[in-house]
Amino acid sequence: MTLAFYYLIIEWLDKVMDDTKTKPELAALWLLDANRLIQFYKLRCAINLSSCDPEDKVEKWLKSGGLAEGDHYSQMIAICHHLFTRGTKEEYNMVENGLKQFNGKWTTAIQLATCVRNEDILKKVANQIIATRNAAVYTAMLQNEFTLLYNKKFRALFWREIANMPLMERKLLFSIETDQTTQVAQILVHSIRSSSELEWLINTVPDWGHYMKSHIEYLRRKFQWIDDTATPRIKHFLLRVIKQP
């Protein structure tokens, strides 16, 4: 509903993007912050603009076994969106095979694997991510910059794998029983995106300790406000706008 409300704006931005092909000064504006370009790619795929063009990008990906020359962000976002919304068995097999290749393509395969809904693949990718024992990798996967979509199934499996780690490793990961929290631990904890995910996080350790408890309490209040206040108000506003003649 929210994306539909912004459809005309995103469509206009898409035209601006098309104009950059002939107007270098416009292209330079996008390059001031590459992140704004990434966010735009996500939005145009989310509202199914033709410029997202997932069919063509997926076809080239299947034929070549990897990303084609050109804008990798545009390709990854379109493929990821396609895999989440209407992925096929052939495409899932491609993703699963990519997880077996521990080379330069492994990172791409891992990112795409977090976009599918197939539970077997999600279990494998969650296991491989946790096996890195690298908090930066954990955070990158939770903050997947290639999709606006929330893959609840993947995140549930991810936190389940975290909970299965030895207790001492979990305490080190979240800076529990230390004099202060690390920035990595804070970023990881604040990567969660829903109240249900907060509960999965909380259940990964028996006690969050003195320093991390304040972060957990902040997140609890944040998601309570989102669920009880912000979301109902936004829905009410959008419904009122839609009903207007």
Residues 226 and 160 in one domain: no
* Mean pLDDT value across residues 190-215: 96
Domain interval for residue 192: 172-245
* Mean pLDDT value across residues 104-108: 82
Residues 127 and 88 in one domain: yes
pLDDT at res. 1: 58
* Mean pLDDT value across residues 12-32: 77
- In a domain, residue 112? The reply is yes
pLDDT over threshold 90, residue 50: yes
Indicate the residue type of 236.
H
pLDDT digits (tens, 9 = 90+) for 114-139: 999 999 999 999 999 999 999 999 99
* Mean pLDDT value across residues 144-148: 84
User: Of 164, 197, 221, which residue constitutes the final position of a domain?
Assistant: 164
Higher pLDDT, 132 or 147: 132
Residues 128 and 238 in one domain: no
Q: How many domains does the chain have?
A: 2
Residues 158 and 176 in one domain: no
Residues 42 and 150 in one domain: yes
User: Which band of pLDDT confidence, cut at 50, 70 and 90, is reported for residue 245?
Assistant: low
* Mean pLDDT value across residues 128-157: 92
- In a domain, residue 15? The reply is no
Closest CA to 63 of 89, 83, 91: 91
- In a domain, residue 231? The reply is yes
Residues 40 and 146 in one domain: yes
pLDDT at res. 102: 75
pLDDT over threshold 80, residue 21: no
Residues 120 and 67 in one domain: yes
Asked if 28 and 36 touch (Cβ cutoff 8 Å), the reply is no
- In a domain, residue 13? The reply is no
* Mean pLDDT value across residues 9-35: 78
pLDDT over threshold 80, residue 31: no
Name the burial class of residue 164, with classes exposed (0-12), middle (13-18) and buried (19+) by CB atoms within 10 angstroms of its CB: exposed
User: Of 110, 135, 164, which residue constitutes the final position of a domain?
Assistant: 164
Residues 198 and 216 in one domain: yes
User: Of 137, 164, 191, which residue constitutes the final position of a domain?
Assistant: 164
* Mean pLDDT value across residues 163-171: 97
Stretch among 63-72, 170-179, 187-196 having the lowest mean pLDDT: 63-72
Residues 233 and 184 in one domain: yes
pLDDT at res. 15: 87
Residues 83 and 157 in one domain: yes
Mean pLDDT of the chain: 90
Q: What angle do CA 61, 67, 72 make, to 5 degrees?
A: 130
- In a domain, residue 27? The reply is no
